[in-house]
Structure 1
Amino acid sequence: MRTTLGILIGILLAAGALAGCGYLLMQLHPLPAGFQPLSLRQLSDYVEGAPRGALAVICVAAGVAALIGAWPAARIARGHRGGAALTIGAPLTLLVIVGATLVPQPEWVPVLGMLLPIPLAVAGWRMAIPRAEV
């Protein structure tokens, strides 16, 4: 029960972190007027015209979400800390892969985006271990 609760809370916090990164992205590179978010062509043009800072936000968004979601998930789960943390990090890695296949991006964006979620989820797992258990 604690593991499921931890994973659910971790998912909510990770989704909030992704939304926050999306908000930051919109501040750095606002959407053009009349933008249709379901049009892959317009989305591709938006990403192609994005400055490096906005692309960096896209890169680190999944990693930040993994850390912010995995730490409380592992903290709450107790007995299954590693599994709870990786249950947050693995789907975020998959999300980066799906995004890279749907929307053309500079090569460094999906590579960095795929490398961050699992290690940061493991870092969240390690941060959730009380000092008495280390």
Structure 2
Amino acid sequence: MVRTALGVLSGAIVAALALAGSGYAALALHPLPSVNAMRSLRAAADGLGNAPPGALACIVAGVGLAALLGGGCAALVARHHRGGAALAIGAPITALVIVAAALVPQPDWVPVTSMLLPIPLALCAWRLAIPRAEL
């Protein structure tokens, strides 16, 4: 039980780092205009609406990468409850995507693809974390 909790915690840290990295990659492709210009939700939505597709694709890829790496890390650490630990990473990422889509208007393809990626990639990470001797 302790290994499962540690697995979920380490997977959440890895997933957060992957999401932060994809955010920095998106900012490198499309820098924000200024700090003062992004103080309202409307300004953030306008900035996201003007972002090039490559920057948005970095965010979508980061969501998938976060689910894959975070779920894989959680499944590797939590030996007996690998599937549950991986899904404990993929499900909150999906919920975060839904909340972000509700708060900030985005192009339609971004939340749709971001919602479809985390659960299947977390399950894929679970399967990849199973040693060959157990298959």
TM-score, scaled to structure 1: 0.96
**Counterpart residue identity of residue 94, structure 1:** A
Count how many residue pairs are aligned between Structure 1 and Structure 2: 134
**Percent of aligned positions with the same letter in both sequences?**
60
Show the counterpart of 1:41.
42
Residue 119 of structure 2 aligns to a residue whose secondary structure is helix
**Counterpart residue identity of residue 118, structure 1:** I
Alignment map for 1:28-107 (pairs within 5 Å): 28-35=29-36, 37-107=38-108
Distance 1:121 1:26, change over 3 A: same
Across the aligned residues of Structure 1 and Structure 2, the Cα RMSD in angstroms comes to 1.1
Is 1:122 matched up with 2:113? no
CA contact (8 A) 1:60 1:112 kept: no
Unaligned runs of 5+ in 2: none
Distance 1:2 1:21 in 2: 28
TM-score, scaled to structure 2: 0.95
- Deviations 1:27-79 (Å, cap 9, x if unpaired)? 00001123455521111011010001011112222111011101010011011
Show the counterpart of 2:18.
17
Distance 1:131 1:47, change over 3 A: same
Distance 1:85 1:37, change over 3 A: farther
Is 1:6 matched up with 2:10? no
Distance 1:7 1:36, change over 3 A: farther
CA contact (8 A) 1:86 1:122 kept: yes
